[in-house]
Amino acid sequence: MSGSSQRPVSGRSTISLFYILAIGAGVMRTFSVGFDIVALNTFASNPIIYGLISQWVSFAITLTLVVILSIKISREGKRRALGYELDPDFGRISLLPSRPMLYLFIAGSFAGISTFFYYILAGSTDASVVLPYGQLVIIYLLIGDLVAEKDTPTIIELQCVVSIMLGVMLVGIEPGGFNVVTLLIVLLPMNVSSAVTTFLQRKTKRYELSEGLRVDSLNMRIWSLLFLNIIMTALSIPFIPPDGMNQIMQSFDAGFWLMVGSSVATFFSLIMYIRALGRGTTAIVNSLSSISVVLGIPMTLIGNFLLPGAFGGIASDSMLWVLKIFGVTLVMMGVIALEASDVRSLVIVNVEPQVGDILPELFAIKGVESVSGLAGKHDYILSIKSRSLSKARTKILHKIQKIPGVKQVNTLVILRDHR
């Protein structure tokens, strides 16, 4: 972890970097799933055994990469780790404090459950189906926010939930109808676990070790992956057959380079995703990274044209493909509409004379994105975001007015953002 005094002055704007990170995470996720699908359709007879080996290979590669990225070099008169370019909070591989380590242990445990079921699904379908399944996590994150805020959903939130749910069901349709077991796996253990993991990753990334210094995404990846692999190993052992060791060696020999490709793609996908979570809301990050849903279909079609059968079977029924494409469209519309429905506002706050600094109290209010102190007739300006004007008033403005010393609050609704 680097010191807070060593922050770079980036040549890229914060907004453009955020978009690059979030979209890049989705693109790399597509490549990662593609490598797994090819392996499971060409040589791996048991998806659980392949997944177990692949995850430990991933840990070895990730550990090697982070050790290399911990090497310090001199640049512009300062010694910085190579990984500083990936995450400015990174200094070297290290143990984290107890609280973020606890977050990562819980996140890694739930990620182990989600990953276990991911390999089961990946062994029986193609990338164009697996990638949309992962978008259901947005529904659980939204439900979690509503429960935490003790709030009722808006019409647009309900529409987005229905759109994503219906889209996922259409994507998963098979020639014989719906696979109930697959849908139950997707709806319950796979995406519920992913939602808990995402929430805790975001919480860990925003944990301040010292002023201006947060937990870095590279150390987060190392430790969460270790806990993930331990849990996945425990879940996999009962399903390994008596000749499992022979299958393990065969899978390792035949698919080593595919595992390496999947591991490297996953490494960069998660690093970019975690960094994006540290810069923006979960809904926006997931909306941008959902580009993987769109890329899944062309990758399946082009991949099977180049390597027949390697990217999963392609249904000959044209109507089935029409339904799948329609389902992907519904998922994308639901995800993007959920992000686009946010109402952004600026709030100008005046306080009573001789009132102390209330910046921490203002920034602690859920929905407040940024707070700045002003010189002149106004004292503070806040940027807030909510699903509707009524929620902004009831959930945010009332909390601001309850802070001792606040005299006047004025709200300016942003009709259009020019960036």
Backbone angles phi, psi at 353, to 5 degrees: -60, 145
Q: Is residue 220 domain-shared with residue 352, that is, in the same domain?
A: no
Question: Which CATH number belongs to the domain containing residue 372 in this structure?
Answer: 3.30.70.920
Q: Is residue 374 domain-shared with residue 245, that is, in the same domain?
A: no
| Residue-level pLDDT, tens digit, the chain, 419 residues | 545 444 444 445 566 778 888 889 989 989 998 999 998 888 877 899 999 999 999 999 999 999 999 998 887 778 888 888 888 888 888 899 999 999 999 999 999 999 999 999 888 777 777 878 877 887 888 787 777 666 677 788 788 888 888 888 887 777 666 677 888 888 889 989 998 998 898 889 878 888 778 888 889 989 999 999 999 999 999 988 888 788 888 888 888 899 999 999 988 898 888 778 767 666 677 777 878 878 888 888 888 888 888 887 666 677 888 888 888 888 888 877 876 777 778 889 999 888 888 888 887 787 787 788 888 888 899 888 776 666 666 678 888 888 988 988 888 876 555 44
Alpha-carbon span 139 to 157, nearest angstrom: 9
Q: Is residue 21 domain-shared with residue 92, that is, in the same domain?
A: yes
User: What is the model's pLDDT at position 103?
Assistant: 95
User: What is the model's pLDDT at position 22?
Assistant: 86
Q: Which of 340, 375, 405 is the last residue of a domain?
A: 340
Q: What domain count does the chain have?
A: 2
For 366, the enclosing helix (H) or strand (E) is none
Range of the domain at 380: 343-413
Confirm whether pTM is higher than 0.85: no
Tokens representing 321 are: 């493909």
Q: Which of 340, 370, 403 is the last residue of a domain?
A: 340
* Alpha-carbon dihedral 146, 152, 155, 160, rounded to 10 degrees: 20
Q: Is residue 80 domain-shared with residue 129, that is, in the same domain?
A: yes
Q: Is residue 160 domain-shared with residue 205, that is, in the same domain?
A: yes
* DSSP class of 215: -
| Burial of 106: CB neighbours in 10 Å, binned 0-12, 13-18, 19+ | middle
Q: Is residue 187 domain-shared with residue 209, that is, in the same domain?
A: yes
Tokens representing 17 are: 């970097």
Q: Is residue 319 domain-shared with residue 363, that is, in the same domain?
A: no
Q: How many CB atoms lie within 10 A of CB 313?
A: 11
Q: Give me the helices (H) in 79-136, please.
A: 98-122, 127-133
Q: Which residues contact 177 (CB under 8 A, 6 or more apart)?
A: none
In-domain check, residue 401: yes
Q: Is residue 139 domain-shared with residue 35, that is, in the same domain?
A: yes
In-domain check, residue 419: no
Q: Which of 340, 363, 389 is the last residue of a domain?
A: 340
Alpha-carbon span 84 to 248, nearest angstrom: 36
Tokens representing 192 are: 């519920």
In-domain check, residue 418: no
Please identify which residue in the block is written with the tokens 């276990």: 116
User: What is the model's pLDDT at position 6?
Assistant: 46
With H, G, I as helix, E, B as strand and everything else as coil, classify residue 29. Answer: helix
User: What is the model's pLDDT at position 28?
Assistant: 93
Q: Is residue 214 domain-shared with residue 266, that is, in the same domain?
A: yes
User: What is the model's pLDDT at position 31?
Assistant: 92
Q: Is residue 189 domain-shared with residue 281, that is, in the same domain?
A: yes
Q: Is residue 181 domain-shared with residue 309, that is, in the same domain?
A: yes
User: What is the model's pLDDT at position 281?
Assistant: 66
In-domain check, residue 8: yes
